[in-house]
Amino acid sequence: MLENPVWASLVHGPHARLAERTGAAARYVAEASPFHALADLSDEESWADLAALAGAGAEVLVTGPVITPPAGWTVVERIDGVQMSDTGGLTAAVSRAS
């Protein structure tokens, strides 16, 4: 799940109701988020599904490790990001007003 969090969220998670999907490509509805996802970033058919979903000339925002799209795609910008996860080691103190 953490290797492909956007795909997991759109296909298997609570955000599935916000997904538009074509084959092995998915995206959030425009009103929710700009993220797109592929079932397999190394699969050219997944990229073809993404092209069909996004439409000709569209810019897409895909997350993951260093992505190398197949021929015909152009990387416009790369942005470093971090993924946070709860390991159960943090606790929060709750104070109540008297």
Q: What's the confidence (pLDDT) of residue 84?
A: 73
Residue 98 pLDDT > 60, yes or no? no
Q: What's the confidence (pLDDT) of residue 68?
A: 87
Q: What's the confidence (pLDDT) of residue 93?
A: 65
**pLDDT tens digits, residue range 11-46?**
999 999 999 999 999 999 999 999 999 999 999 999
Separation between Cα atoms, residue 82 and residue 20, nearest integer Å: 25
Residue 96 pLDDT > 60, yes or no? yes
**pLDDT tens digits, residue range 49-76?**
999 999 989 999 998 877 889 999 999 9
Separation between Cα atoms, residue 51 and residue 47, nearest integer Å: 6
The pTM of this model reads 0.79
Q: Which residues make Cβ contacts (< 8 Å) with residue 65, sequence separation at least 6? A: 41
